Structure 1
Amino acid sequence: MNMKIDINKEDDKTVVLVAGEIDAYTAPKLREALLPLAEEENPQISVNLKNVSYMDSTGLGVFVGLLKNVRKNNGNLHLVELTDRLERLFSITGLSDIIDISSKSEGGLQ
């Protein structure tokens, strides 16, 4: 399955909507789209994952790398509207303890 990425700048934050599957095939495309956003000064990035049907470890790696770059540039990363399956994935890997995650679209970056 393909993956679609929509990036919208809203005032001082960037909202990214990802749809499809994030796997070894599509993760490089996601990394290529997201990492430049993290290189900005004080990046405020919200990634909506409500339309992601599947994610494997390469997808998790993209978000770990993104988080490192965002923090290096004094920014914030917020993942929103995760499906139950994705929430479990982030939880069992311990990433939910280090990445700001919300099952709702509200909260996080304001």
Structure 2
Amino acid sequence: MNLSIDMKELDNDIHVKVSGEIDAYTAPKLKESLQPVAEKENSQLIVDLSDVSYMDSTGLGVFVGLFKTVKAGGGELHLVGLSDRLQRLFDITGLGDIMNIDSKVKGGVE
């Protein structure tokens, strides 16, 4: 169970590329990495999930927490590059209607 997180910050825009699996073992690492940038005022957090092969409810919980934190600081969380499987996961839980989700990747980390 491997998770890679690459992050680039440009002013208030934070581009994050997540690769691997997000589950009960790796979700704490994801939360620990993204929570500090989510707490920045007026941040635009763009998370590319195109290389995420698996995510369970623990991963969903991380994104719900990030969404609340970013929104409380006047910013926005954008999830991009979701596979059909991940998109379905967000839609089934109703989070697809609340969060900014786009199947296409915008910008990103190289």
Structure 1 residue runs of 4+, over 3 Å off?
Answer: none
Q: Does residue 24 of structure 2 align to residue 36 of structure 1?
A: no
For residues 69-105 of structure 1, give each alpha carbon's deviation from its aligned partner in whole angstroms, at most 9, with x where no partner exists.
0011000000001011100000001000111000001
SS at match of 1:33: helix
1:14 pairs with 2:45: no
Residue 94 of structure 2 corresponds to which residue in structure 1? 94
Percent identity, aligned pairs only?
A: 63
Aligned length: 107
1:81 equivalent in structure 2: 81
TM-score computed with the length of structure 2 as normaliser: 0.94
CA distance in structure 1 between the partners assigned to 2:106 and 2:68 by the alignment? 23
Q: Take 1:7 and 1:55, find their aligned partners in 2: how far apart are those partners?
A: 19
How far apart are residue 41 of structure 1 and its match?
A: 1.1
1:55 aligned partner: 55
Q: Which runs of 5+ in 1 are unaligned?
A: none
Structure 1 CA distance for aligned equivalents of residues 12 and 43 of structure 2: 8
Give the letter aligned to residue 32 of structure 2.
E
Give TM-score, length-normalised by structure 1: 0.94
* Aligned residues: CA RMSD: 1.2
Shift of 1:50: 0.2
Rounded to whole Å, the distance in 1 between the matches of 2:38 and 2:14 is 10
One-letter amino acid of the structure 1 residue matched with residue 88 of structure 2 = R
